[in-house]
Structure 1
Amino acid sequence: MEHLIKVVDLCKIYNPGENEVRALDHINLEINRGEFVAIIGQSGSGKSTFMNMLGCLDIPTSGKYFLNGTDVSTMTDSQLSTVRNKEIGFIFQGFNLIANLTAIENVELPLIYRGIDKKTRRELAKEALEMVGLGHRMEHKPAEMSGGQQQRVAIARAIAAKPPVILADEPTGNLDTASSREILDILKELHEGGRTVVLITHDNKIAEQAKRIVRIMDGKIESDTAKEME
């Protein structure tokens, strides 16, 4: 299978020198196209730093990161911004929706940055909202929706442009049990539809939903386990 994500000997060091902190310590990881992978670790394990690397929100101190065949580890901020916009759909714990925009306008926003014309982006946004079961709430603003519905809008925004990678950072962290289940079911459906999903979490139960679990501890990969095919 083809590697969508390939991390080679990745290090991230803060305060180099006597009091240095190795947030990531020689990490190697490959994720194939179409995989559903959970990256799990407790607070301070390095998982948030690793998510920032995978999401092109930061660059490593040393090592290489190939995303979709391109080495992104030495790119400038503006180059990384372009890569993020084209290659990665982000789902965050805090939804990050814009309060005065409707659901469909929130989903369209990243498509505007990609230069997609008005008619096409409206179609893509509608399709994405229907995919997450919100076809009937397109004109509602975030304050008129539950937390679970807001997170579904955020998922629609992440998937509308059909990026190669969906990166979900604690996507159920602010949700009740029922809403959490809904969100995880949507992520599973996306995976079953051929999307590559990388789920960052500290919760074992959430991680269990993925097909492969990568545990990080003290900046190193402690284990990498693929579940048996069901």
Structure 2
Amino acid sequence: MEPLIQVENIHKIYNPGENEVRALDGVSLTIHRGELVAIIGHSGSGKSTLMNMLGCLDTPTSGRYLLNGQDVSGLSDNQLSEIRNKQIGFIFQGFNLVANLDALGNVELPLIYRGVSKQRRKKIAALALKKVGLEKRMRHKPNELSGGQQQRVAVARAVAAQPPIILADEPTGNLDTKSTREIMDILKGLHQSGRTVIIITHDDDIAEQADRVIRIIDGRIEADYHNEHKIENENMSREDLQA
């Protein structure tokens, strides 16, 4: 099966020359459809730069990035914007909600950019909010919602247009324990429904909930492994249910 994401020897260099910074230094990785992947690293490790590459928010200095078999490494800003709009749903640590729009309006935004009619996008947005448990908060603006509720609006916005890839950048970084658990349950549910979910994090507890963990240090991948402990726990849970 052809990989959904294929990164080949990507470098990202800032300030080329004597004071250059190698944010990514020869990164290669493959992600298939339906995976739940955590990319983990400390501040300055290169994980945010890698997220920008995977999300088509930036282009590499050298190397190739194939998304759905298409080389997107050298595309224009407009071409990258179109790919982002159709194929990637973003969830950010800071929520990135529009303050003067209610929850429904915020979720509608990517659908407007896609040219979805007003009546249909309201229906899609309402359904997305219902799926994250906010059907009673659709008319509330961000400042009328808790942090966990704001992040659920952001999740609904990311999934409303049903993009094949969900890219979550520190999605629980500003949340308390209860809200963190709720958001992770939603992300794992999206994965179980067939989405490819990529979580960027510095938190080992979050990373260990993924099926696969990619550790990045100083712009290089230092480890890439499947989370056997999680798989064993899931298998044990299935056995309990069948008993």
Distance 2:199 2:176 in 1: 18
Map of 1:57 onto structure 2: 57
The alignment partner of 1:136 has SS state of coil
Relative to structure 2, which stretch is displaced further, 2-11 or 214-223?
2-11
- Give 1:217 deviation, angstroms: 0.4
Alignment of 1:1-230 (within 5 A): 1-228=1-228, 229=231, 230=234
The alignment partner of 1:121 has SS state of helix
Relative to structure 2, which stretch is displaced further, 117-126 or 74-83?
117-126
Q: Percent of pairs identical after alignment? A: 70
Which string of whole-angstrom CA distances, capped at 9 and with x for unpartnered residues, describes residues 49-82 of structure 1?
A: 1011111111000000011221110011111111
Q: Is the 8 A contact 2:42 2:217 kept in 1?
A: yes
Q: Is the 8 A contact 2:2 2:69 kept in 1?
A: no
- Give 1:198 deviation, angstroms: 0.3
Distance 2:227 2:127 in 1: 31
Distance 2:68 2:133 in 1: 30
Q: Is the 8 A contact 2:107 2:160 kept in 1?
A: yes
1:41 partner amino acid: G
The alignment partner of 1:56 has SS state of coil
- Give 1:18 deviation, angstroms: 2.1
Distance 1:137 1:17 in 2: 52
- Give 1:126 deviation, angstroms: 1.2
The alignment partner of 2:10 has SS state of strand
Map of 2:240 onto structure 1: none
Distance 1:133 1:212 in 2: 28
Distance 2:94 2:205 in 1: 20
- Give 1:2 deviation, angstroms: 3.5
Relative to structure 2, which stretch is displaced further, 12-21 or 94-103?
12-21
Relative to structure 2, which stretch is displaced further, 157-166 or 135-144?
135-144
Q: Is the 8 A contact 2:24 2:50 kept in 1?
A: yes
The alignment partner of 1:45 has SS state of coil
Distance 1:19 1:140 in 2: 48
Distance 2:200 2:30 in 1: 16
Distance 1:47 1:124 in 2: 32
Distance 2:35 2:44 in 1: 26
Relative to structure 2, which stretch is displaced further, 35-44 or 78-87?
78-87
Map of 2:241 onto structure 1: none
Distance 1:60 1:21 in 2: 13
Runs of 4+ in 1 over 4 A off after TM superposition: none
Which string of whole-angstrom CA distances, capped at 9 and with x for unpartnered residues, describes residues 16-60 of structure 1?
A: 122221110111110110000000000111101101111111100
1:118 partner amino acid: K
The alignment partner of 1:83 has SS state of helix
What TM-score does the superposition give when structure 2 sets the normalisation length?
0.93
Note the aligned Cα RMSD (angstroms).
0.9
Structure 1 gaps of 5+ residues are none
Please tell me whether Structure 1 or Structure 2 has the larger radius of gyration of its CA atoms.
2
Which string of whole-angstrom CA distances, capped at 9 and with x for unpartnered residues, describes residues 100-119 of structure 1?
A: 11111100011001111112
Distance 2:23 2:92 in 1: 21
The alignment partner of 2:11 has SS state of strand
1:207 partner amino acid: A
Distance 1:68 1:161 in 2: 18
Structure 2 gaps of 5+ residues are 235-243
